[in-house]
């Protein structure tokens, strides 16, 4: 019998596991429920399935949780990148970065509290811009920054930016999705891309763990 000892992890490595564990334990299961509730909301609207009127509301609630935790997990992933990167003279200072992270959380909280579509879209866009601002810091692993570079398409960071942008857009448009058929079709189409991005994030994220 061969006994293999489990390698012990440093505190840094344990902290690096917070992001993937949060995504695996919370985001993927709740996305499954969100997709199922979305399909049920559609069946209800088309009179194919006589289910409770709370289903579309539950779908949007689940979607909000998924978006919120994706934003939080991205902040944690980027913070870990920045904290563990070797320090170079001229690198950004700690305090402005913490303020930018707090700004992302504050704009997301404002999005949750706002009803009319225009300001919701503005808060959603501000949250996404905050993520981009933090992602532009030295230390954050982006792969490549331009679409004509192949590393761009393999980048876990840019996949996350696209995914969070689409989820935040759904949150911004929430009031219109139920009301306007064109927006609803756009919502379903864009969220098929979200489902695809969730799969590619799982692949590039586990690849990150191996490297
Ligand atoms: C995994 C991501 C998501 C998927 C796959 C998805 C899918 C769907 C589907 C299939 C419908 C039914 C469309 C129809 O009736 O033809 C729907 C409706 C809707 N979705 Fe999503 N969605 C997602 C995320 C979100 C998010 C993040 C929000 C915003 C918080 C949201 C808000 C809504 C709303 C408000 C409706 C309309 C419900 C109604 O009929 O009143 N969804 N979605
Ligand atoms: C919703 C899906 C996900 C999103 C939006 C996301 C987003 C991000 C972002 C923005 C970063 C920082 C930039 C970078 O280092 O690439 C990151 C880092 C990372 N992600 Fe993800 N990720 C997701 C899923 C996953 C999964 C499923 C895993 C692994 C099972 C994973 C593992 C990692 C690892 C190992 C890092 C390096 C982080 C570090 O230094 O702490 N991610 N992720």
User: How many other C-beta atoms can be found within 10 angstroms of the C-beta atom of residue 66?
Assistant: 24
Main-chain dihedrals φ then ψ at residue 153, nearest 5 degrees: -75, -15
Instruction: Give the residue ranges of the chain where pLDDT is below 70.
Output: 1-2, 87-93
Buried b (16+ CB within 10 A) or exposed e, 5-27: eeeeeeeeeeebeebbebbeebb
Q: How far is the CA of 38 from the centre of ligand 1 (A)?
A: 5
Interatomic CA distance for residues 111 and 121, integer angstroms: 8
Res 97: pLDDT? 86
Domain segments of the chain as ranges: 12-84+108-210
**What are the pLDDT digits (tens) for 108-154?**
999 999 999 999 999 999 999 999 999 999 889 999 999 999 999 99
170 lines ligand 1 (CB under 6 A): yes
Closest CA to 151 of 204, 190, 192: 204
30 lines ligand 2 (CB under 6 A): no
Res 2: pLDDT? 67
Res 92: pLDDT? 56
Considering only CA atoms, give the Rg of the chain. 19
Report CA torsion sign: 165, 168, 172, 175. positive
Res 7: pLDDT? 79
Q: How far is the CA of 205 from the centre of ligand 2 (A)?
A: 5
Please tell me the residue having the least CA distance from ligand 2 atom 2.
201
Joined tokens for residue 84: 């563990």
Please tell me the residue having the least CA distance from ligand 2 atom 8.
74
Res 94: pLDDT? 77
Res 89: pLDDT? 54
Q: How far is the CA of 69 from the centre of ligand 1 (A)?
A: 17
Res 191: pLDDT? 97
Q: How far is the CA of 197 from the centre of ligand 1 (A)?
A: 17
Res 86: pLDDT? 78
């Amino acid at each position: 019998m061969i006994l293999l000892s489990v390698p012990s992890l440093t505190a840094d490595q344990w902290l690096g596991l917070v992001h993937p564990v949060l995504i695996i334990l919370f985001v993927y299961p709740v996305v499954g429920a969100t997709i199922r509730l979305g399909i049920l909301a559609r069946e209800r609207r088309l009179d194919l399935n006589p289910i409770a009127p709370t289903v579309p509301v539950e779908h949007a609630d689940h979607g909000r949780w998924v978006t919120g935790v994706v934003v939080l997990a991205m902040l944690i992933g980027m913070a870990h990148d920045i904290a563990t990167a070797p320090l170079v003279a001229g690198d950004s200072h700690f305090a402005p970065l913490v303020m930018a992270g707090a700004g992302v959380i504050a704009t997301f909280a404002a999005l949750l509290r706002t009803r009319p579509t225009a300001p919701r879209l503005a808060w959603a866009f501000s949250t996404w811009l905050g993520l981009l601002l933090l992602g532009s810091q030295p230390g954050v692993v982006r792969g490549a920054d331009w679409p004509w570079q192949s590393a761009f398409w393999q980048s876990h960071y840019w996949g996350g930016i696209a995914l969070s942008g689409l989820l935040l857009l759904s949150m911004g448009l929430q009031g219109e999705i139920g009301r306007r058929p064109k927006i609803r079709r756009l919502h379903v189409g864009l969220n098929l891309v979200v489902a695809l991005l969730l799969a590619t994030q799982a692949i590039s994220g586990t690849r990150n763990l191996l490297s």
